[in-house]
Chain A
Amino acid sequence: MKIHLTSVFVDDQAKAEHFYTEILGFVKKYDVPLGEKDRWLTVVSPDEPAGTELLLEPAGHPAVKAYRDTLVNDGIPLAQFAVDDVKAEYERLRDLGVRFTQEPLEMGPVTTAVFDDTCGNLIQIATQPK
């Protein structure tokens, strides 16, 4: 078994497409119209085009708001992405206007930071020990 796709709920798919590709640097893999206005919209890492896809899923379900608001209130990220250097990535994103709720924090071998994806979620970036 392999993890082939995971998802985050996004308020607005067009805005999410911009943030996840232009700001974070992922590349679009699938963009298929689904129903009246929704799209099956996935992105992948440019380093791993055949790797795990991230589905930017419409947050229309009524349960999503309460779920995400509660997590964001406590600063809890919904997904984690790996980066080579958390501090460098923090500086790059901060300069692009991205809001961090947790600045880079070194905890033993792991460094993490948490930012707002502007689509309703907090995302953690982490550098794992090599």
Chain B
Amino acid sequence: MIGKWTLAYPVVVADDLFKALADPTRRTILDELTERSGQTLFEICARLSMKHRLGISRQAVSQHLAVLEAAGLVETRREGRYKFHDLNTAPLRQIAERWPGPDTPGPEESTP
């Protein structure tokens, strides 16, 4: 029964994960957070508009961040009056674990 539960749980999470990754703007946000984790909304907006020439409103960026946060790929951290966005790539491991290649160790061999 324990095995069944651990199998079912990642599938539920994966829906949010794949939805989050399906959008090119959200992938660009992840690229920028890879360059430097811990960015304010202002910095993320500046990178998208100045570096990537994306005509996108602050509100739309906020919505993209909410989708990334729901998927666990972005975590927000409050420090005093500021709010920072950090990258968390841990959920991406679920993808590799779900479809392990011939040389990839199976889930039973991985640490919990």
Contact = CB atoms under 8 A, between A and B. Distances in A.
Interface of A: 69, 72-77, 101-103, 105, 107-108, 110, 112, 114, 116, 122
A73 B36 contact: no
B41 A75 contact: yes
B50 interface: yes
Interface of B: 36, 39-43, 46-47, 50-51, 58, 81-84
Contacts of B43: 75, 101-102, 105, 114
B47 A73 contact: no
Contacts of B82: 72-73, 75, 101, 116
B46 A105 contact: yes
A73 B51 contact: no
A74 B42 contact: yes
Contacts of A73: 81-83
B40 A110 contact: no
Contact of A107 (B51, B81, B84): B51
A-B pairs, 9 with minimum CB distance: A75-B40, A75-B42, A107-B50, A74-B41, A72-B81, A102-B43, A76-B42, A107-B51, A101-B82
Which secondary structure dominates where chain A touches chain B?
strand
Q: Of residues A76, A77, A101, which shows the largest number of chain B Cβ atoms within 10 Å of its Cβ?
A: A101
Contact of A74 (B36, B51, B58): B58
A73 B80 CA distance: 9
Most buried by A among B47, B83, B84: B83
A61 to B, nearest CB: 19
Contacts of A116: 82
Contacts of A110: 50
Contacts of A69: 81
Contacts of B40: 74-76, 101-102, 114
A112 B41 contact: no
Nearest to B36: A103
18 contacts: A72-B81, A73-B83, A74-B40, A74-B58, A75-B41, A75-B83, A76-B40, A76-B42, A101-B43, A105-B43, A105-B46, A107-B47, A107-B50, A107-B51, A108-B51, A114-B42, A116-B82, A122-B42
Contact of B50 (A75, A101, A102, A108): A108
